[in-house]
Amino acid sequence: MSSNGKSPMFRAIVDRSRCCGYGLCAQLCPEVYKLDENGLVFVESEIIPSGLVEEAKEGAAACPAEALVVEEIQP
């Protein structure tokens, strides 16, 4: 918990230049990670909903190309 009593916020950082289109991220967390018509990852919003942070972290960790990072947003 942060000092203001709210849960921390996280964002997904996508490096599309590294994406190889494996799609593991979208399989693990389709609410955050989407695939375009070429099979490359994108996010509709880089802010991750609070209930999906763990799934988003799992999706990022599963990326063999290390194209995804989940980081806490500092207020």
Residue 2 lies in a domain: no
CATH of the domain at 60: 3.30.70.20
**Angle, alpha carbons 35-41-47 (nearest 5°):** 105
Task: Classify residue 40: in a domain, yes or no.
Answer: yes
Residue 3 lies in a domain: no
Q: What is the pTM of this model?
A: 0.88
| Residue 53 forms part of a structural domain | yes
For 5-29, the pLDDT digits (tens) are 678 999 999 999 999 999 999 999 9
In a domain, 45, yes or no: yes
- Does position 37 have pLDDT exceeding 90, yes or no? yes
Measured CA to CA, the distance from residue 53 to residue 70 in angstroms comes to 8
* Domain that residue 29 falls in: 9-73
- pLDDT of 67 > 50? The answer is yes
* CA-based nearest residue to 71, from 28, 5, 9: 9
Q: Is the predicted pLDDT of residue 69 greater than 60, yes or no?
A: yes
Decide if pLDDT at 45 tops 80: yes
* 47 inside domain: yes
Q: Give the count of domains, the chain.
A: 1
Task: List the end-to-end C-alpha distance of the chain, in Å, as a whole number.
Answer: 12
Predicted pLDDT at 75: 78
Beta strand pairing call for 41-42 and 9-14: unpaired
